[in-house]
Structure 1
Amino acid sequence: MEDSSNTDQTFLRNRVRNHLIPVLREQYNPGIENGLNRLSEILREEAAWLNSTVDLLVQDATIESGNELISISAPFFRSQLAAVQRRIVRAAIERVKGDTRKITFQHTDDVCRCAATGRNFSLDLPDGIRIDGSPDKLVVSRNSFPGNRNVAKDTVHFQYTLFVYGFQDTTLTIKETGWQVAFRVVTPGEIPPEKFYDSRIAFLDTDRLNAPLTLRSIRPGDRFTPLGMAGSQKISDFFINAKVPSCDRKSCPVLVSDGRIVWVAGHRISEHAKLTPGTSRALEVSITAVPDDTRQ
């Protein structure tokens, strides 16, 4: 008995089989099916060979491998061709999370582009995958937000007031969570392009901010307008959609200007505070975890 879905033209596979292939056969190549089958077999065999070759390269490049983490040599990685680099990234991600679902070409290309600079960077990818790069190594791990993993199970409450006398360079340590937040006033021309790919760094238009600012913990019902969106969204919904681990949500700070959340730290800025072609001055904000042995 034939599957009734095989005749449903809403499926792309059926439109290809019933419409595209006949046109190609009649107007371009009578042996199109044989050619496509042959090409498919060749690509399958070559992909198997490439994967086995990349597996050997990943073994050579691996510095450290553990539970949901793999660290590979950045100089070795940068010495490879772009096509090999992308396969190494996908192979490393597969070892960490078991598959490469939701990992697109754009994701792997972003990793390669940032790694090519030889500078520090961090990228958050789907399913909690995080890439931390430095001049020496690339670390692929399963945690999308490297916060204090020892925070209490209940939400941590804190609030700090900043820039009472205007914007200036400063650093604040959130003692309740172990986060360190650094602020720096810059011009758009000073910003290296790769910094825009680091989710732990935000750039906010100072003309769209009203001092003083507040850095505080998340409150029930908090909403913001994520970059690229027109309407507001509950932060709780944003975390669910972004697959942020629940333990990280409890210690995540938000930056507030005039009652409006302009940055969910480590994740997304608000549409209202983004840089524009007319931006003359920006507030660079970065967040890092303070090592346990250096906290006061």
Structure 2
Amino acid sequence: MLKKLQNHINTNLSFLKEKKLLLAVSGGIDSMVLVHLCHHLQLDFAVAHCNFQLRGNESDDDENFVKSQIENLSPRAQSRGKIPLFTQKFETATFAKEQKLSIQVVARKLRYDWFYSLLANHNFDFILTAHHLDDSIETFLINFTRGSGLDGLTGIPEQNDKNVRPLLIFSRNEIETFAQENNITWREDSSNASDKYLRNKLRHDVIPILKELNPSLLSSFENTIKNLKQSQSLVDDAAKIVYEKVASEEEHHTVFDLTKLLKYPNHQAYLFRWLASFGFADWNSISDILIAQSGKQVLSNTHILLKNRNTLLLFPRQQTADEAIFWIEKDQVEVKVPLNLTFCNLSDISVQSTNVIFVDEEKLQFPLTLRKWNEGDIFYPFGMKGKKKLSKFFKDEKYSLLDKSNAWLLCSNDQIVWVIGKRQDERFKTTATTKNILQINYIE
């Protein structure tokens, strides 16, 4: 096993050499074997142990066990000296209750948030975990039963970001044999014996039957994963080719041309693949937005996808897509991005506010546009005669640089209708002969 891992690192994971590695060690057999293998290969590593305080004294005993094992191994670490050890206790159950999340989700978040803080604070290059081939098939079956695309059916990735899983080439049986032959001690997690969790039920009840039906299950699974990854590579290549044809990346946002995208029979699959990395998961809403009216939006935790005429705009939630132009169709009753506007027809003017304007609808040319101001913009301030440069208007109104950068304009065929929230344009005001009054409200 040692030689097999060394060859694997030399061939496929050579980037781990001469790097500072952080080993995630629970005290179980998998992680303890990983420690011994890295020690024998003389890799430069430290150990991180999480105490989630979910099993009372047993959790504390796991922590003490890891401490003692690493201390015993350190004197034999040759020229590297003592193996650095980091431990952390988490109030996992309390945090899960407060956040209304499952214990598994919370434990994972706490674990990896801490690991990444150690990477940043101590200049580690990679996190190594002891996932193995049996873990990968369990993950495959979990995703299969829940419904998954190719990404979920390719098992556990050997590397994603700073996480590396060098033991995925080994089965659980190989790990157990190595531990016994090398007198490696470990701790058994009592929760692994429970069928409360889906992974354990698969491990105890389903996979043994599959192995009985096919004694070469793990080998067959490796071949299946290899084939699926090749298929995934083809999908990625196709997605990249189509992306270059239908998408354009601006400074603050990405524009998807729907006229071009919808010509592809698998346009939804392409869009799903592009958006997945931005945290989008509500695929029904993504499908709906393709045929929705302008102004429809779908949110992920980090990004906004906005329907804007014949395009979709993708931009970070913390930004407002300053360089974008947003289109407003005739009869559209509201806009939510980049700011909240509502539109309604009425028979008389009843509200007076800088956040409300009344315009003669017949003077407007649709679609209207929302945009930021440009040098050289002019408008005809309501109540004044003649035109005025917008830059001069901002100066007279004592706009700061921040005020100017936050200003939005409502325009009709490049003519300014409203410096939103500040001044309407005289050219679009209602008169005694106005037949259709359009009220436009800005909701801060």
Alignment TM class, shorter chain as reference: 0.3 to 0.5
TM normalised by structure 2 equals 0.30
Greater radius of gyration (CA)? 2
Report the structure, 1 or 2, having the larger helix content: 2
TM normalised by structure 1 equals 0.43
User: More relative contact order in 1 or in 2 (CA 8 Å, sep 6+)?
Assistant: 1
